[in-house]
Amino acid sequence: MKKYKICVIEGDGIGKEVIPETIRVLKELGDFEFIKEHAGYECFKRCNSAIPDRTIETAKECDAILFGAVTTPKPKELEKKLYKSPILTLRKELDLYANVRPINNFEDIDFVIIRENTEGLYTNKEYYDDKKEIAIAERIISKKGSSRIIKFAFDYALKHHRKKVSCIHKANILRITDGLFLKIFNETAEKYKKFNINSDNYLIDATAMYIIKNPKMFDVMVTTNLFGDILSDEASGLLGGLGLAPSANIGDKHGLFEPVHGSAPDIAGKGIANPIASILSASMMLYYLGMKEKSKLLRDSVKSVLKKGYKTPDLGGNLKTTELTDKIIEEIKNK
């Protein structure tokens, strides 16, 4: 079996706790070469770069990237433009245009939010007009960006035996930008009817309500950058919190896997961070690398541990980060 090279970026805060635990789990499932690199606020303070060139090069050379979480710096440093976001930089450098966030509570909720990852409002194209005293951000929706993320969503549905793709938009108000996104969605949906994949579309504000009121109505969602970011964080509340929410950033040549949660400086160093989001992200990485049976084994092990009531404090339990990882490793060995 191929020995995969994994670029490991722990980042800041609890990233330095949950990523090592995830590596412990992965060592039980395969023979990997872990190459540790640096990025984040601590890295910025240490070497005046939030993401050194070496980190980017290593990420490009590896089979996948396992990413922790990074702390956002103080506003003064952001204003001086000294700090650039490591995750946004990697998404751009590696062209990781698809952000995939499964929402699955291992029981009755199971849908996936797929968001465009490289444009929309997250392009850092903001400026302040002193004369008019207004702040302006450009929202960019391109035909190319829309086409490939929508195709990715339908291909994902096909590959994972899903039955429906829903477009989430605000085309009734954002008629040009979201109008383009919805138009391309409808055109793409026609091509996938022959595969028995259904399609529909909902306004973003209504979707925010439907996720809470009736999450079972969704299967695969596809949407723009900001909408997907907000909806996926909202939906993680159905799972019990961000400590259970994994994600993947995928392009045509590279894949980066990270927990949805942030660096959580308020609990960093206390040994109580929930490692499950990171571990489930690793399960997504295994699937991406073609290790589907190992991916399922890891998910099933996490499911068993939660079903038995083993939890960290964020979920009402009392286990430490390492203790919960120990339980997951026990399940892997038992299975």
**What pLDDT digit, counting tens, does each position of 183-234 carry?**
999 999 999 999 999 999 999 999 999 999 999 999 999 999 999 999 999 9
Residue 162 lies inside a defined structural domain of this protein:
yes
Residues 75 and 128 in one domain: no
Measured CA distances, 330 to 49, 69, 97, 273, 334 (Å): 40, 26, 36, 19, 6
Which residue has better confidence, 1 or 84? Answer: 84
Q: Is 254 helix (H, G, I), strand (E, B) or coil?
A: coil
- 38-70 residue pLDDT tens: 999 999 989 889 999 999 999 999 999 999 999
Same domain membership, residue 199 and residue 143? yes
Which residues constitute the domain of residue 306? 1-109+239-335
Task: Supply the pLDDT for residue 123.
Answer: 83
Domain match, 320 and 248 both: yes
pLDDT for position 28: 96
Q: What is the pTM of this model?
A: 0.93
The reply to whether 116 falls in a domain is: no
Instruction: Check residue 82 and give its pLDDT.
Output: 75
Asked whether residue 247 falls in the same domain as residue 211, the answer is no
Both tokens assigned to 304? 């068993």
When pLDDT is averaged across residues 244-254 and rounded to a whole number, the result is 97
Residue 328 within a domain: yes
Indicate whether 81 pLDDT > 70.
no
Q: What's the domain count of the chain?
A: 2
DSSP state of 319: -
Q: Convert the pLDDT of each residue in 266-302 to its tens digit.
A: 999 999 999 999 999 999 999 999 999 999 999 999 9
- Residue 124: per-residue pLDDT: 79
Percentage of residues in the chain having pLDDT higher than 70: 98
Last residue of a domain, one of 188, 222, 256: 222
* Domain presence at residue 138: yes
Both 131 and 177 in one domain: the answer is: yes
Calpha distance 283→280 (Å, rounded): 5
CA distance 309 to 300: 14
Domain's final residue, options 195, 222, 249: 222
Q: pLDDT per residue over 133-161, tens digit each?
A: 999 999 999 999 999 999 999 999 999 99
Q: Are residues 74 and 132 in the same domain?
A: no
- The reply to whether 24 falls in a domain is yes
Would the pLDDT of 77 be above 70?
no
Residue 220 parent element (H or E):
strand 220-223
Q: Are residues 246 and 333 in the same domain?
A: yes
Residue 335 has a pLDDT of 87
> Do residue 78 and residue 141 come from a single domain?
no
Q: Tell whether 233 is covered by a domain.
A: no
Picking from 222, 249, 276, the residue at the C-terminal end of a domain is 222
Q: Is there a single domain that holds both residue 86 and residue 13?
A: yes
What CATH number is associated with residue 281? 3.40.718.10
Residue 181: inside a domain: yes
Q: Can you give the pLDDT at residue 2?
A: 82
Cβ proximity of 23 and 53 under 8 Å:
no
Residues 57, 204 within the same domain: no
User: Do 164 and 98 reside in the same domain of the chain?
Assistant: no
Measured over all CA atoms, what is the biggest interatomic distance in the chain, rounded to whole angstroms?
A: 68
CB 261 within 8 A of CB 277: yes
92 and 146 inside one domain: no
Average pLDDT, the chain: 95
Residue 101 has pLDDT above 70, yes or no: yes
pLDDT of residue 84: 85
Does the structure show a pLDDT above 60 at 79? no
